[in-house]
Chains A and B, each alone.
Chain A
Amino acid sequence: MTHLKLLFIACLVLLPVTGIAADDGYGYPIAGSYEATILGTPEKLLPEFPKKMRTRQLVLDVIPDRQKPPIFFYDNGLHCTLAYQKQKAPLVFLIAGSGSSDRAPKLMTMMKALYQAGFHVITLPSPSHANFIVSASQSSIPGDLSEDAADLYRVMETAWKEVEGDIEVSSFHLCGYSLGASQAAFVAKLDEERRVFNFRKVLMINPPVSLYSSVTRIEEMLKQIPGGPKKQGIFFNKMMSKFSLFYRYGNFVAFNDDFLYAIFTEKLFSHEETGGLIGLTYRINLAGMIFTSDVITNSGYVVPKNRVLSPTDSLFDYFMVSTHLSFFDYFNEYFYPYFEKRRPGLTKQALIESESLRSIEGYLKASEKFGVMTNENDFILTKAELDYLRQLFGERAKIYPRGAGQDLPSRRPSGQPRV
């Protein structure tokens, strides 16, 4: 099962696709190698991480009396991971990128780095992750930065109440990557009013400026599939045959790192194909979000309205339908109508603009507590958006020219023992 999980994780956690190392190609994505994003940093280049870390998994009852549909019987609360120091230390709330749980490999790497530096860390799943939608989201319709921030704040308060008797905290900080980074900015703004934590520092890693714009760039990758995203099934099956033929011709010993690495060195998949695969992975993640939200809200979007699914019912058709829906479908047919009902007169354009750092730029510009890390070729940003970050954050932004994508090396899943 070891390698099963390897591939499983590799596919589910390819998101966020920020920080894909690219050549000096211009804005259109997929200029360079995806090796870095998918494979991460080679073992020997990884910094020394603590061998032993004091951790605890938290399961939080964020919304008491929440009714969970039968198919989510396994969801017993919001999962968070705590890494704690023995002595008094500052605490960082670490927000995952889109679609990731509290234990995403990328998040674990960041947690270890922060722990090594002497912080307590609490990792939080992304508001776009099913666990959050079921157990912690008030509306269960993810994507609105202000509302997701309010949900995240409630989670942080609940988590803090859970651990405050056991650890000594000197100050609170926030950190997030990709979508989590932009959400962190909004959480910090909320904290200015609520004043529960008084976050000292907020570190944003690879933040998107406008959610809509960044997701558009990811959706663009799907256009590289022959026949477009609506023919993703045919494409996927073709890629899988290529994959298995490669294994058989190459006489590989086992389904392991060497095999996955060889796929990239031999350039088994072309640039377009790799782009298509990454895009498909993003859609698989998005499908989970759409389906979960639909079931909780009983909106009749992909599941018939008023149908109560049982754990033995086949969900395959819903899986297929959900993966074939784009973010634009979600936005136009599901997300926007919901918010329009709550804020009459709201236009789509206004909603798109509110899902952006620009809508709180006054606050971001003035506040001392923000730090930003990203790279020149973070493909979810346009050149204009990158310049915007430079101009908005000035010296508080560290923009790397290129590299393995992220500032913090992401560990290959196989690097962890027996994973």
Chain B
Amino acid sequence: MTVTRYQAIIPALMLSLSLIGCASTKMNTQAEVPPMHSINEFRDQPFAEVADPWEGFNRNMYRFNFYLDKYIFLPVVNSYEFVTPTFFQERISGFYNNIGEIRNLTNSLFQLKGMESLTTLGRFVTNSTLGLGGLFDPATSFGLERHAEDFGKTLGYWGAGFGPYLVLPVFGPSSVRDAGGLAVDTGITYGIYSAIDPFGNSNNSFAIGAGITTLEAVDTRHQHSFRYYESGYPFEYYMVRFFYHEKREIESAKPLPAD
């Protein structure tokens, strides 16, 4: 008697267990129908293609950055813009851009670009002195143009490939090479800062350091007008990926001799 009762229970249990699986997928359970047009129809090279083996991760990170911007970063930047007079915003940007010239200079040197290094050095000296510690930018009006360089470009210059596309948290579109470059530049900047140690003797050196870094982050975001998903275009991810890749490749390639 007992055996038959159990025999009845087991299939019932199995059925209910399998149904739980169905219930948990809130999605429709309707069968998929192949679309009218699919990729097999076409014999063409894909365009705007960039090596992106971690696309799922990158798409998630892209979305994460969107939310980070929406709930934290942009509200802070908007408050900053609201509270700070435009004149001061420009001075602050000038200050950090000038400090950024150190990175531009070191990387110009790594790339053995003589003219560019001299120009960048000239910019740094002019703006630090005449420009009052970088707050103003007389160098540009003297004809010394800004040459943005970073270690990612240096690596590219010396032949390192772009590597798989990588979307970094906070920093956004990047690549394996450029992310490595970012780490090196950050290390160099930190090293120089520690060596100089301008606030080392004061009591609040940590707080001041943190304040400066935070303001730099706010200013950097303030200077970048890119907004995730702003275009509303469904394939925005691919456009951003492509343009980032194209721009980096073009700017880090070795110039060819003109005819």
Using a CB–CB cutoff of 8 Å, the interface residues on chain A facing chain B are: 1-5, 7-8, 11-12, 71-75, 79, 101, 103, 125, 129-131, 230-234, 236-237, 240, 243-245, 247-251, 253-255, 284, 287-288, 291-292, 294-295, 300-308, 311-317, 319-321, 324-325, 329, 333, 418-419
Contacts and interface: CB of A to CB of B under 8 A. Distances in A.
B34 interface: yes
A308 B30 CA distance: 10
A321 B43 CA distance: 11
Contact of A304 (B32, B148, B259): B32
Contacts of B60: 311-312
B47 A237 contact: yes
Contact of A311 (B35, B63, B228): B63
Given A233-B47, A306-B32, A251 B255 contact: yes
Contacts of A311: 59-60, 63
Contact of B33 (A129, A131, A250, A304): A304
Nearest to B259: A249
B59 A301 contact: no
Contacts of B255: 248-249, 251
Contact of B232 (A75, A233, A248): A75
Interface in B98-126: none
A301 B36 contact: yes
Contacts of B34: 300, 304
B239 A317 contact: no
Contact of B256 (A71, A245, A253): A245
B42 A255 contact: no
A77 to B, nearest CB: 11
B231 interface: yes
Given A74-B229, A253-B145, A247 B250 contact: yes
A190 B76 CA distance: 44
Nearest to B254: A248
B223 to A, nearest CB: 6
A42 to B, nearest CB: 20
B30 A306 contact: yes
B44 A232 contact: yes
A358 B231 CA distance: 33
B197 interface: no
Contacts of B258: 249-251
Contacts of A292: 234
Contacts of A8: 231, 239-240, 243
Contacts of A419: 225
Contact of B39 (A73, A249, A254, A317): A317
Contacts of A243: 246, 250
B27 A321 contact: no
B66 to A, nearest CB: 6
Nearest to A102: B232
B47 to A, nearest CB: 4
B237 to A, nearest CB: 8
Nearest to B26: A308
Contacts of B216: none
A112 B49 CA distance: 37
A57 to B, nearest CB: 11
A249 B44 contact: no
A130 B247 contact: no
Given A5-B226, A233-B46, A300-B35, A12 B233 contact: yes
A305 B60 CA distance: 24
A320 B42 contact: yes
A287 B240 contact: no
Of A4, A284, A321, A418, the most chain B CB neighbours within 10 A belong to: A4
Of B43, B47, B63, B147, the most chain A CB neighbours within 10 A belong to: B47
Contact of B36 (A11, A125, A300): A300
A295 B35 CA distance: 11
11 contacts: A7-B243, A7-B246, A101-B231, A103-B230, A130-B234, A233-B45, A244-B249, A249-B259, A305-B32, A311-B60, A316-B55
B38 interface: yes
Nearest to A9: B231
B36 A130 contact: no
Nearest to A419: B225
Contacts of B235: 284, 287-288, 291, 315, 319
A1 B178 CA distance: 14
Given A8-B239, A74-B229, A315-B235, 15 more contacts: A3-B247, A4-B243, A101-B231, A129-B232, A243-B246, A244-B249, A250-B258, A302-B36, A304-B33, A305-B35, A306-B31, A314-B56, A315-B238, A317-B39, A320-B42
B37 interface: yes
B5 interface: no
B55 A314 contact: yes
A247 B33 CA distance: 46
